[in-house]
Chains A and B, each alone.
Chain A
Amino acid sequence: GAVVSQHPSWVICKSGTSVKIECRSLDFQATTMFWYRQFPKQSLMLMATSNEGSKATYEQGVEKDKFLINHASLTLSTLTVTSAHPEDSSFYICSARDFTRSTDTQYFGPGTRLTVL
């Protein structure tokens, strides 16, 4: 149980294009999903917290107009990187909380590696 999937697992795009990453909770409902960014050999940095049916809360320094987050259902959140540039190349990971369980943890997806040429 508590499986989170991401799609795609990797994507290569040209500079200036937009890329959408999907995060799904497969066997539970997630009222809250989180989006992280991880550069090579570094830790996870929280980008935003996404609540179903409401606007995402972005961390300081994260451009909300560049990283569009939509959490339209209890099992799906999407991150769209708009007008991507090479510096946006990174490993993007989502996580989700299962609010029905008596646990407080976040379950992570497998990540999406974005390479912007």
Chain B
Amino acid sequence: GENVEQHPSTLSVQEGDSAVIKCTYSDSASNYFPWYKQELGKGPQLIIDIRSNVGEKKDQRIAVTLNKTAKHFSLHITETQPEDSAVYFCAASISYGQNFVFGPGTRLSVLP
């Protein structure tokens, strides 16, 4: 089955700097890759997603890149702010929206 790895497990950056979180997946059939942000005690919130037919997607300060050949995708957050501090999860799905396999998560801390 699909296996998703995520690095780093923790990440601390200064406010205003950029943050990058990387995920790798094992099943080349995976075709949908969402990123979620989870604040303490709350459910995950979708922040950006990408399909396998696209190499990059951007939404204001957040971008995601996908390398299908290498089977990895990355989340890029620019101009980080303290409110970006949370746990971020990547996920991979083989059948568009079904059966998400989540990465272990990255705890991002943005220091003021």
Contacts and interface: CB of A to CB of B under 8 A. Distances in A.
Interface stretch (A11-19, A67-75, A81-89, A106-114): A106-114
A34 B43 CA distance: 13
Interface residues of B, number: 23
Interface string B1-40: 0000000000000000000000000000000101010000
A44 B93 contact: no
Contacts of B45: 108
Given A43-B102, A43-B104, A108 B96 contact: no
Nearest to A93: B43
B101 to A, nearest CB: 8
A105 B97 contact: yes
B46 A105 contact: yes
A49 interface: yes
User: Chain A: interface secondary structure?
Assistant: strand
B82 to A, nearest CB: 21
Given A42-B104, A44-B89, A93 B34 contact: no
A49 B101 CA distance: 13
A43 B14 CA distance: 25
B55 interface: no
A97 interface: yes
Contacts of B105: 42-43
Interface string A1-33: 000101000000000000000000000000010
Interface of A: 4, 6, 32, 34, 42-46, 49, 93, 95, 97, 103-111, 113
9 contacts: A43-B89, A43-B105, A44-B100, A97-B98, A104-B51, A108-B43, A109-B43, A110-B42, A110-B43
